[in-house]
Each structure stands twice: as structure tokens, then as C-alpha cells.
Structure 1
């Protein structure tokens, strides 16, 4: 999550949706923020205490956290936005990310289909790096009653175009998006990773996202 007091925006960073590139593009704006250094200091103190002080919005926090922590009038005055991604594509991206950077979290499942079955098993022990990418994306964008409370939802599939529109809403010129964390070893067409069985697993688990954002397995 990225909060700017000067530009009055809140970016809700959902994992594996291009958020690292969005953060990298927007981060220099925070340096112009009059609250940047107090916020940085609070973040450092929070880190040194093992995050016991609760003085920083976590990277992948849900918007409901900001709604609860920030003054109501201030929160409602922020331009709140996020990006979402086709759930089937997101799971392929997550698999390659974990295999590349945290292979010990694969649980011995080096095949995508086996890993996906294990990952979506409700009896599997909780693991942060796995479970951030199986939490429905819609959960990050709603209040306690399930209502979407962000102002703009961009799509990973048209990341640059939608980000340019967000820059306009913020009141800045369109910023270039750096390419971050792009897997070099994955196939371009994510559909080739799936069988009918595993595609249905994702369809059931992310049914709310698929309905809310209008995604399909086939374009």
C-alpha cells in the first residue's frame, strides 16, 4: 500500500498484478511530500521493533485497514486505486515467482498442476508467500459489508494504458512504468499450463473475482 498526502492517493497493492512497477513509478512522488521524512522515520522505528508499533501500512494491506486506521473524512478524500489480474494468469505468475525466488516454499511440488492442487488445499498449513496470492483480489478492495470502496480498478492486461489514466486522475503527467519481476522462463500463453481439472480449481476458488471483474479462461 502506498499513501501520498501531497497528491491525495492511496494505492492498494495486490500481489502479482504489476504493483511493483506501479510502486516504483510513484515512489519518487513521495519524496516531494511534506510528510515523507516523518513517515520514513515511523516506518524505520516500526521495523526496528519487529512491526509491534503498527506505524506503517503493510505492502499488501487491504483497503479496509486504511479505512479503519485513517480519519474518516481524510480517507474518503483520497483517490483510492488498485490493479487486478486474470486469476488463472496470476497463479502461473505466482508459481514462477516462488520457484525462482523462494523454491523452498514449493513444498516439493515442482510441477505446476501438483503445486496448484497443494496450494489450494484448505488443509495446507498457512504460509504468507503462498496465501497472499490465493486471497481473492476482491477482498483487498471492499469494506466489511463487501462493498467496493476503491475509486478505480485498473487491469494488468492493459497496465500502461490504465496507469496513464490514473496519473491523470492524480494530477501528474503520465509516468513510465519500469518492468519489474518479469519471469523469463514462463510460457507466454498461461492457458497451456492448465488441464480442465486445474482450470476448474481456480474457477471455483476465485469465483467472486471472476464475476466481479469479468474474467474468463479464454479471451
Structure 2
């Protein structure tokens, strides 16, 4: 998530919709007091520096334990991936108690409660994705992070709670619907589409007067055999799991099943 006081916008980071690419692309243009939760490890990896808001969050009492580990890692080994991950975790820890247990992807209602002035006066936007694609991307992400092998059908059963395997399910919410709606009503000013990502992002930069020109920074690589067509991953049972898990999004955007 981003709260930009400089450009007066709120970016709601939906799961598996190129949110990290959007944030790392926007980061060089943000102000010193702008808040970004998540993806700071990627910012540092690309040679970026933390702004004042991020440094302040790291030294909040809720984040101190993780911040100390990050500083110790820096003193011992310098700029390592562990150091960057700890910095990212420390900033998230600052917001976890007040915003959401997974503050990178908080519900819209929580954002409104914590940032009432900004919610009322800033331009709010997000990006969404075909839930059948999103579930597959989530599968790839969880398999890579858990370093385990499991099939797509098993993963969907775990998402649905039929299999007790929390090690392969995401923290926080599964569906993105609560991230951009309040009381089941869309609460943001603009919803971009993953299928039209570059064009919609370029429109937003122009709308918000952000001086970015060109393409988004490279997205995280998905490794779930994307040479296969979407339909090849689904049968009637798998499609039904996704339809139930993401029902409100599927109904609102009138998305057809790939099976």
C-alpha cells in the first residue's frame, strides 16, 4: 500500500496484481513523508534509499526487535538480502497492530479508519485481475516461498480450508474484494485491470501528475508452467473452488470460467 501526500493518492495493493512492480516504479517519485508498506526490500535491492517515513516506522516500538536484527545484519555482513528483508519486515511490523495483520494488503475499511483525512480527500486506486489467473499466480508464489511441491488442486483445497496446511496459504485475506470495497460497495475512485496494466498505469501517472514515463519495472517471475494455457490448469472441480473463493469479484466483473 502507498499513502502519497506529495501526489495525494492512496494505492491499494491487491494480491498478485503486479503491486510490487507498481510500488517500486513509483518509489523514486514519492515524497520523503510518503508511506509505503511492503516491497521496500526490492527498492533497496534496486539501489534505492529509505525515505523519512520508512526510517521513522522502523524505529517505532512495535518494530524495534526486527530493526535491531536488521542493524546487526548490516554491521556483520553489509547489504544482504536478509538485511533488506528485515528492513521490509520492520516497516510492516509498525503498521501490523493498527492497520491489519498483513498490512501490505489491508481491507479498505481499515485504511479509512487509520487515514480518515487521506481517504476522504485523496485519489484512491487499485488494480484487479481475473481470479482464475490470480489463484494460479498465488499457487506459484506459495509453492516458491514454501519450497515445497504440491499440485494446484491441493492448493485450492487448502485455500478453501478443506486441507489444514497453513504453510502454503497466504497470510491475511484470500480474495481482494474487501481491499477495495466497504460494505460490499466499491470504495475506490479507479480500478485498473491487470490485462491492461501498462496503459492503465500510464493513465494514472498522467492523472496524478507523476513524472513517470515508460514501462513498469519488471514483475516478479512466476514459475508455474505458463507455457500451458489457463484452461489447461482447470477442470470443473478446480473452477468451482475458485468460483466460491472469489465469488463477489467474479460476479461484480462478470468473469467467465476458463472451463
The CA deviation at 1:218 is 3.9
- Determine the structure 1 residue equivalent to 2:25: 25
Mapped contact 1:120–1:134 kept (Cα < 8 A): no
The equivalent position to 1:168 in structure 2, one of 206, 209, 212, is 206
1:78 aligns with 2:122: yes
- Residue aligned with 2:144, SS: helix
Q: Distance in 1 between matches of 2:20 and 2:33?
A: 24
1:93 aligns with 2:133: no
1:179 aligns with 2:218: yes
Please give the root-mean-square deviation of Cα atoms over the aligned residues, in Å.
2.7
The CA deviation at 1:135 is 2.1
**Pairs within 5 Å for 1:1-219:** 1-30=1-30, 32-34=31-33, 37-46=51-60, 47-49=63-65, 51=93, 54=97, 58-70=103-115, 72-104=116-148, 110-121=150-161, 124=164, 130-132=169-171, 135-143=174-182, 145-175=183-213, 176-188=215-227, 189-218=229-258
- Residue aligned with 1:166, SS: helix
Deviates more, 1:175-184 or 1:116-125: 116-125
Q: Which has the higher contact order (CA 8 A, sep 6+)?
A: 1
- Residue aligned with 1:42, SS: helix
Mapped contact 1:94–1:133 kept (Cα < 8 A): no
The CA deviation at 1:187 is 2.2
Structure 1 residues 103 and 184, CA gap change in structure 2 (3 angstroms): closer
Give the count of matched residue pairs.
211
Structure 1 residues 141 and 35, CA gap change in structure 2 (3 angstroms): closer
Q: Distance in 2 between matches of 1:55 and 1:208?
A: 27
